Structure 1
Amino acid sequence: MKIRFVLLLTVIFSAASIAPSFGAGERFALVIGNAKYPDAEAPLKEPINDARDVAEELKRDGFTVDIGENLTGDGMRRAFERLYGKIKPGSVVLLFFSGFGVQSNRQSYMIPIDAQIWTEADVRRDGFSLEMILGEINSRGAGVKIALIDASRRNPFERRFRSFSAGLAPIIAPNGTLVMYSAGLSSVISDNGSDHSLFVKELLKEIRTPDLMAEETLNRTRVGVTRASRQEQVPWISSSLAEDFSFVPGGAGPRPTSSPPPPPPPVIASPSPSPTPVPPQVPPPPQVAVATPIPTPTPPPPPPQAKVEIPPPLPPAKPPEGNTAIAALADDPTIKSLTAKLNDNPDDGAALYRRGQVYASKGAYELAIKDFNNSLRLNPKDVEAYNNRCWARTVIGDLQAALKDCNEALRLRPNFVDALDSRGLVNLKSGQTKNAIADFDAALKINPRLTSSLYGRGIAKKRNGSIPEGDLDINNAKAMDPNIAKEFAEYGVQ
């Protein structure tokens, strides 16, 4: 099935606890708002406005602010270099990033607008690791580092590969660091449809309150966001500050006061299950929401399924491959770039495979299959190409050929979770519900958060007569991914 990725939207706010001897001139901030990602269906509404408001507030608080909007990878790299060059021993350094973020290998990455992410390795190539940036800031002598991260949005990269953890990862940061995420670890939130994020609204309100230390400011922000979202969004905080630091210089000034926040809301069960435990490197403070685990029974090994009788397939999904749609695809910037590479070198296997992924993600399945065919011609042992061709063929209803592709992928790489998931869809569409359940069980044993397998297993169980168990799987999958039912409908499964 198609590649999933979650990722991550990240807002990073890095500031430091400041001793009385630190002057206002020793406060430096880099504020970045990225909204126009070509891979997203529409520009994000919140990051630019939030970045501008944060920058203005920080200027009033004595920070020297560098603000960047819709930065490419080169633009972000130059911005970080400018920030590093300003840091002096004992400086307060604040980094704010609003845009898409992705968790990979237990690190959180900020994503520039021109990133081309199709595999997890691409995240580490094109993204900017929060841990590495905080480490570099610390090595330049900064006294206090504060990271506020509002990047836990669902992003356009998450569906491109499925060996992912949603949201952001815990941070291993140097001493003197205060980190805040706008949502809990490995959690994602939906945009509220307004021009400003709830997180930044609450953050700015508390920053403007005099006589508050930074940790108290962020704790009050957490309470405000949790209350305003009715416990659906619970920010996460980690601190290793050793000194008192206030955003408002001197702890006083012409800032409006506000009454103390009410006590934190009662602990309730979260509607979003997340059985994957949080890595223990940086234990987070107690949060309001409690995750609900997803039942993942230990399944028997899936059957070989070398030969399966395929009944007449369901009506295939119709890819947008008319003349108008093909012309529109040709204008896609990513496809343009890959096509240019292939014009120079038709045997560029990596470009063929990646363009096939782009075509598939945009519903141009026949074009995707052609690219996967050529990719496999160059490398007959390309397991990923077999799996993706299996998935594309499944969507258009070529089930017999799809089954052969998935079997070959699993022969080359036994227990390959993506191929198990894809073969589960083949069996589901072909009416082989017991085989589908076995494949989805095997995939979920490897990755319990694989929503496509969870939802597919629910459909298969219901078709097999286990209605309550099927409904449980379906509801759990929808809680993790509200769009999963629509996605399966596009595959021809309802």
Structure 2
Amino acid sequence: MRTTIALLLAGLIAVCGGTASRAADAAKLALVIGNAKYPDNEFVLNDAANDAQALADELKRDGFVVDRQTSLTGDAMRQALDRFYARIERGAVALIFFDGFGIQSNRQTYLLPVDAQIWAEPDVSRDGFSLDTILAEMNTRGAAIKIALIDASRRNPFERRFRRYSAGLAPAIAPSNSLVLYSTALGAVAATGKTDRSLFVAELLREMRAPNLSAEQALTNTKNGVVAATNREQVPWLSSSLTTEFSFAGLVARPPDNTPADPASTKPAPQQPVCEVPQAEPTPSADDLARDPVIADLSRKIAANANDAISRYKRGQVYAIKRAHALAMQDFDVVIRRDPRDAQALNNRCWTRAATGDLQGALADCNLALQLDPGLNDAFDSRGLVNLKLGRTAEAIKDYTDAIQRNPRSSSSLFGRGVATRKSGGDGASDIALAKSMDPNIAKEFAGYGVTECVP
């Protein structure tokens, strides 16, 4: 309680009396991280490295002392944060930019180093760095203004190991006088592609360079620009408790122009959607799988100990995620032979069988998994897919609804229920739209299972 009161008083002192000049004259510090090379990911996030460089250059022009880092391991990321905290003086402007993979757990957002080893929920807090904790530490060290710019709402390879959905990021619990901007809405993910630049950062840089524009307005304009450019498919999340005047580019003698109009309001009305069948991702080659570092590491552990069921189960998950279904089946078969009551392994085999068309075998696996663990949410989702492919739309809708009641943010269950509803003669559009807003690649994933939203 004493610490809270002291911090509150410090914040009030920073706000009172000449706030604009105080913010302009205060030390400005930035930690810019672009984590591009995750061994667990299929390709390098070139946009993360390029965007980190571009933002670091802009912040330097704006008078920030910048520490730019790329592809940090957990130890290196901890050291970078410690250096950042140590440089913060009372009254400073402190900014962190992170581009890479993020994940939410227990209603917190965690930023992931490149060597994170995440196979279950507890691993997130062990290997990730809590954004709430980072902001709180910036505040404790005396920063008058705290800014966090987070471009980490990508669908990542870590969540799919223990979740059937991609949860995006959680709201930040930020101290007073803070600005936090995420590249997408809470609980949503942006499409991940092999691009060299991020739309979010391009919009951000343009607004940061505008003179006579407050930092809060710059971030608001960034949000509006992304919304307009993506026809509302990507909606950044902005949280502000800023009370001190601050501008990235500073003020000039000319009075500021009127506040720019919301670009989203002038965007032409979108055309009516056309039902298109997305092309499913191709199955990786044997050489691609052999070069995968996660698979190689798990294979070494299995070769050293043939009874290592945990490594075999994990390898089966990775194979399934990479659409190497035959290899995934082999691993799950071994795990289940050793423990026929392993509900999670049965669910994973059900999902894999459903993807390959062995629907009766998949149904038996899912039914047994739910018999062993009646609350296993992922098994309802998997059985929904089985029933959908069997043409049993009523049963599919019920399974997906049961899954959604347990997890309303499951893009897989929402999309599946929308398709099942549409195939049964209903609308289903709201479920499908919500699923796509959370995961822009969900239609492509279902196309890989042989399921599309189009109804003849």
C-alpha spacing 1:25/1:342, structure 2 compared with 1 (3 Å):
farther
Q: Which residue of 1 aligns with 2:135?
A: 134
1:362 maps onto 2:322 in alignment: yes
User: Normalization by structure 1: what TM-score?
Assistant: 0.74
Q: 2:309 aligns with which of 349, 362, 373?
A: 349
Q: Which residue of 2 aligns with 1:178?
A: 179
Q: Which residue of 2 aligns with 1:245?
A: 246
Distance 2:266 2:172 in 1: 24
Secondary structure of 2:239's counterpart equals: strand
Distance 2:429 2:381 in 1: 19
C-alpha spacing 1:449/1:185, structure 2 compared with 1 (3 Å):
closer
Q: Which residue of 2 aligns with 1:44?
A: 45
Q: Between 348-357 and 147-156, report the one with greater CA deviation.
A: 147-156
1:263 maps onto 2:261 in alignment: yes
Q: Which residue of 1 aligns with 2:217?
A: 216
Distance 1:209 1:490 in 2: 45
C-alpha spacing 1:430/1:22, structure 2 compared with 1 (3 Å):
closer
Q: Which residue of 2 aligns with 1:187?
A: 188
Q: Which residue of 2 aligns with 1:490?
A: 448
Q: Which residue of 2 aligns with 1:97?
A: 98
Give the Å deviation of 1:460. 4.2
Kindly provide the amino acid, as one letter, of the partner of residue 361 in structure 1: I
Q: Which residue of 1 aligns with 2:352?
A: 392
Equivalent runs, 1:60-459 vs 2, <5 Å: 60-157=61-158, 159-162=160-163, 166-190=167-191, 195-248=196-249, 251-252=251-252, 259-264=257-262, 265-266=264-265, 325-377=285-337, 379-459=339-419
Distance 2:25 2:297 in 1: 46
Distance 1:471 1:120 in 2: 32
Q: Which residue of 1 aligns with 2:8?
A: none
Distance 1:396 1:192 in 2: 26
Deviations 1:462-489 (A, max 9, x none): 55xx323356655664555444343333
Deviations 1:68-119 (A, max 9, x none): 1222333322211221222233332111111222222222222223334444
Give the Å deviation of 1:207. 2.5
User: Is 1:347–1:378's contact at 8 Å kept on the other side of the alignment?
Assistant: no
User: Is 1:31–1:95's contact at 8 Å kept on the other side of the alignment?
Assistant: yes
Q: Which residue of 2 aligns with 1:11?
A: none
Deviations 1:366-412 (A, max 9, x none): 32233223434555543211210221223333334333321221122
Give the Å deviation of 1:57. 1.8
Distance 1:412 1:121 in 2: 23
Flag structure 2 segments of 5+ consecutive residues without an equivalent. Answer: 1-13, 271-279
C-alpha spacing 1:39/1:92, structure 2 compared with 1 (3 Å):
same
Distance 2:22 2:394 in 1: 70
C-alpha spacing 1:135/1:350, structure 2 compared with 1 (3 Å):
farther
Kindly provide the amino acid, as one letter, of the partner of residue 378 in structure 2: D
Secondary structure of 2:149's counterpart equals: strand
C-alpha spacing 1:228/1:390, structure 2 compared with 1 (3 Å):
closer
Deviations 1:106-164 (A, max 9, x none): 22222223334444433333322211111222222323211122333344445444465
Kindly provide the amino acid, as one letter, of the partner of residue 368 in structure 1: A
Distance 2:118 2:337 in 1: 24
Deviations 1:224-277 (A, max 9, x none): 44444454444332223343333346x449xx9984443334499x99xxxxxx
Q: Which residue of 1 aligns with 2:10?
A: none
Kindly provide the amino acid, as one letter, of the partner of residue 169 in structure 2: L
Percent of residue pairs bearing the same amino acid type: 55
Q: Which residue of 1 aligns with 2:5?
A: none
C-alpha spacing 1:208/1:459, structure 2 compared with 1 (3 Å):
closer
Distance 1:218 1:376 in 2: 51
Secondary structure of 2:187's counterpart equals: coil
Distance 2:29 2:451 in 1: 53
Q: Which residue of 1 aligns with 2:58?
A: 57
CA RMSD of aligned residues (A): 3.6
Distance 2:389 2:205 in 1: 51
Distance 1:233 1:349 in 2: 40
User: Is 1:352–1:372's contact at 8 Å kept on the other side of the alignment?
Assistant: yes
Secondary structure of 1:89's counterpart equals: coil
Distance 2:437 2:332 in 1: 33
Secondary structure of 1:346's counterpart equals: coil
More helix by share: 2
User: Is 1:167–1:188's contact at 8 Å kept on the other side of the alignment?
Assistant: yes
Secondary structure of 2:79's counterpart equals: helix
C-alpha spacing 1:458/1:187, structure 2 compared with 1 (3 Å):
closer
Q: Between 156-165 and 101-110, report the one with greater CA deviation.
A: 156-165
C-alpha spacing 1:86/1:380, structure 2 compared with 1 (3 Å):
farther
User: Is 2:212–2:255's contact at 8 Å kept on the other side of the alignment?
Assistant: no
How many pairs does the alignment contain?
A: 425
User: Is 1:104–1:164's contact at 8 Å kept on the other side of the alignment?
Assistant: no
Kindly provide the amino acid, as one letter, of the partner of residue 394 in structure 1: A
Distance 1:79 1:213 in 2: 28
Kindly provide the amino acid, as one letter, of the partner of residue 490 in structure 1: G
Flag structure 1 segments of 5+ consecutive residues without an equivalent. Answer: 1-15, 272-316
Q: Which residue of 2 aligns with 1:468?
A: 426
Give the Å deviation of 1:336. 1.4
Q: Which has the higher contact order (CA 8 A, sep 6+)?
A: 1
Give the Å deviation of 1:414. 0.9
User: Is 1:25–1:63's contact at 8 Å kept on the other side of the alignment?
Assistant: no
User: Is 2:23–2:244's contact at 8 Å kept on the other side of the alignment?
Assistant: no
Q: Which residue of 2 aligns with 1:284?
A: none
